[in-house]
Chain A
Amino acid sequence: MTDDPRLNPQGSEEMDVHTGHREVDPVTGYDTTGHDWNGIRELNTPFPKIAIWALALTFLYSVIAWVLLPAWPVGQDYTRGLLGLDQGEMAVERYQAISLDRDKWLARFETEDFATLQADDTLMLPAMVAADRLYQDNCAACHGGDGGGGPNFPVLNDDHWLWGGDPAAIAETLHVGINSLNDDTRFAQMPAFDYLERGERIALTDYVIALPHGTADPSAAGATLFADNCSACHAEDGGGGMMNGAPSLTDDAVIYGQDRASVNQTLRAGRQGVMPAWTGRLTDAEINLLALYVSGLPQRALEGQK
């Protein structure tokens, strides 16, 4: 007995025991379901063979998969499968293969000095493309996609550097960060001068906002306050350059702005900008690559303007 009603010819008198029905459709040869919806009857066609085969194949595959791949939990372990595949290991291996492949050119950035690297155009041209990706992924969030800086984040595509703008200095900043969690972090703190009288802060502000324009009055009260409180870090003339993270106040390139409101806020609350340390997150070679890229940002910006 098969499932195809056509292959089970029975006398038209014989009734199905369950439906009590047997009415063979003359066109298809199939029985009907026995239901009657206002004269409409439905053919009782068998389940499609292709679906049955597909179902059987999925069962077959599941058995094969159980044998070959990690599958069943067994207590605190699981069946490993004959192929011994482990997605985590595979990902790490593949990642290591990618890294190895990249090291064909990237490894040179770990060992060779910056001048040699910079002189090699065949290395630098493709390397700077990779460096741009790295920069966009890690640095652009604060410093802007073109190094143009952000709100209270330093501009990288100009010639004002607090900790040095040559590749070696930039690499060091990348390694240890500024005010970061790294043990060797560069440390720079603009203290809050909230203990000064309000009038003193205003006088100081007057002096500081005039510095970039060369109109600061050396005999004003602000000048004395500046000499007493600020010159230790910002240099006597306010020109900075002492490699302590304190900016020059004469070039109008202060990160937080040198207008009255910003200077006032800086004096009242202080500033402690943070640059995270990238050791650990990036490799030494990647840091050197980025250092070269960042040191070239001012040049890029100039070329972009032309």
Chain B
Amino acid sequence: MLRLHYNLEKMSMGLVVGIIVAASIGGIVEIAPLFTIDETVEIPDDMRPHTPLELAGREIYIREGCYACHSQMVRSLADELDRYGPYSLAAESAYDHPMLWGSKRTGPDLARLGEKYSDDWHSQHLIDPRSVVPASIMPAYPWLTRALDTELLSDQLATLAQLGVPYGPEMVEAAVADAIGQSQPDSDAGDAVRERYGEDVAVRAFDGNPSQLTEMDAVVAYLQSLGTLTDAAYDLLTGGTQ
């Protein structure tokens, strides 16, 4: 065996073929299971996709690099269950492209953050983290109070629909209207968002001002939706197994 390798080392092309074969095995082992991912990841019945406003917030979350310090995956470890709640299921991020699980936690995990704190707290915390958490080392994001750019929202929904996220044509069509509607409680547009995305969707003036759609509206709507897209994970702790 070693003699074979010894001789192979002296034939450069033979060695190249050998390296390609060995590396391919490593690659296939990781990639092949993904071929059946549509069947292996079961989407829970109550799972909803992000609303356009939440999606816009997600884009800002990515733009500002929040994922660099915050993970969005509760690991299957008892201590994590105790602190954050049920561990994350693959299905919970099935509509995320790309997913934002992360592994580095300079700040806490955010997978179960939705509705834990009030909208006011999130706004205050993003504008000036030290004003609410004195020991925080999170940077401030005061510029999030500027107006939200909704130009690409419809296209973004259409793209995600192509990737298998269940956005219907009417959702794509109404993306901008829905983004505005979700930040205007007690409005017809707000009711339309609920009709399309489910009764549990939060329709609120997330930044406290319903008359203007800001990046803060989008980010807070996104943060308040984390972990609320399905209740499937909560069955783990009460009911038993997945």
Asked if A303 CB lies within 8 Å of chain B CBs, one says no
9-residue interface stretch from B74-82, B144-152, B162-170, B190-198:
B74-82
B2 touches A3 (CB 8 A): yes
User: How far is A97 from B82 in the complex, measured between Cα atoms in Å?
Assistant: 11
B115 touches A276 (CB 8 A): yes
Asked if A141 CB lies within 8 Å of chain B CBs, one says yes
Q: For chain B, residues 13 to 45, give those with C-beta under 8 angstroms from any C-beta of chain A.
A: 32-33, 36, 39-40
B117 touches A142 (CB 8 A): yes
Asked if A95 CB lies within 8 Å of chain B CBs, one says yes
User: How far is A52 from B1 in the complex, measured between Cα atoms in Å?
Assistant: 11
Min CB distance, A42 to chain B, in Å? 14
Whether A3 touches B40, Cβ cut-off 8 Å, given contacts A142-B132, A151-B132, A276-B116, is no
A141 touches B133 (CB 8 A): yes
Q: Chain A 146-157 against B: per-residue CB contact (8 Å), 1 yes, 0 no? A: 000011110000
Residues of B within 8 A of A94 (CB): 78
Q: Within the complex, which residue of B6, B85, B120, B134 is in contact with A145, where a contact is CB–CB below 8 Å? A: B134
Asked if A302 CB lies within 8 Å of chain B CBs, one says no
A95 touches B81 (CB 8 A): yes
Please indicate which of the listed interface residues A76, A89, A138, A152 has the most CB atoms of chain B within 10 Å of its own CB: A152
A273 touches B32 (CB 8 A): no
Q: Chain A 44-70 against B: per-residue CB contact (8 Å), 1 yes, 0 no? A: 000100001000000000000000000
Asked if A91 CB lies within 8 Å of chain B CBs, one says yes
Q: For chain B, residues 86 to 144, give those with C-beta under 8 angstroms from any C-beta of chain A.
A: 87, 115-121, 124-125, 131-134
B132 touches A141 (CB 8 A): yes
Asked if A18 CB lies within 8 Å of chain B CBs, one says yes
The residue in chain B whose Cβ has the minimal distance to the Cβ of A139 is B117
Residues of B within 8 A of A87 (CB): 76
Residues of A within 8 A of B82 (CB): 95, 98-99
Asked if B3 CB lies within 8 Å of chain A CBs, one says yes
B33 touches A274 (CB 8 A): no
User: How far is A153 from B118 in the complex, measured between Cα atoms in Å?
Assistant: 10
Determine the main DSSP class of B at the interface with A: helix
User: How far is A24 from B81 in the complex, measured between Cα atoms in Å?
Assistant: 65
B40 touches A76 (CB 8 A): yes
User: How far is A97 from B79 in the complex, measured between Cα atoms in Å?
Assistant: 11
Min CB distance, A154 to chain B, in Å? 12
B118 touches A52 (CB 8 A): no
User: How far is A274 from B40 in the complex, measured between Cα atoms in Å?
Assistant: 40
Asked if B236 CB lies within 8 Å of chain A CBs, one says yes
Residues of B within 8 A of A142 (CB): 117-118, 121, 132
Q: Chain A 84-118 against B: per-residue CB contact (8 Å), 1 yes, 0 no? A: 00111111101101110000000000000000000
The residue in chain A whose Cβ has the minimal distance to the Cβ of B242 is A88
B117 touches A137 (CB 8 A): no
Min CB distance, A29 to chain B, in Å? 18
A92 touches B81 (CB 8 A): yes
Whether A137 touches B83, Cβ cut-off 8 Å, given contacts A73-B32, A73-B36, A181-B115, is yes
Q: Within the complex, which residue of A76, A86, A91 is in contact with B81, where a contact is CB–CB below 8 Å? A: A91
A3 touches B87 (CB 8 A): no
Whether A95 touches B237, Cβ cut-off 8 Å, given contacts A47-B2, A87-B76, A181-B115, is yes
Whether A274 touches B81, Cβ cut-off 8 Å, given contacts A3-B2, A90-B76, A151-B132, is no
A76 touches B39 (CB 8 A): yes
The 3 closest A-B pairs by CB, nearest first: A94-B78, A274-B118, A91-B76
Q: Assuming A91-B76, A142-B118, what are 14 further A-B pairs, CB within 8 angstroms?
A: A1-B3, A3-B6, A86-B241, A91-B87, A92-B237, A95-B237, A97-B78, A99-B82, A138-B116, A142-B132, A153-B120, A181-B202, A274-B118, A274-B120
Please list 21 pairs of residues, one from A and one from B, whose beta carbons are closer than 8 Å in the complex, sorted by A's number. A3-B2, A47-B2, A73-B32, A73-B33, A73-B36, A88-B87, A90-B76, A92-B236, A92-B241, A95-B82, A95-B237, A97-B78, A98-B78, A141-B132, A142-B132, A145-B134, A150-B132, A152-B120, A274-B119, A275-B118, A276-B117
- Please give the residue numbers on chain A whose beta carbons come within 8 Å of chain B beta carbons, in ascending order: 1, 3, 18, 47, 52, 73, 75-76, 86-92, 94-95, 97-99, 137-138, 140-142, 145, 150-153, 181, 273-276, 281
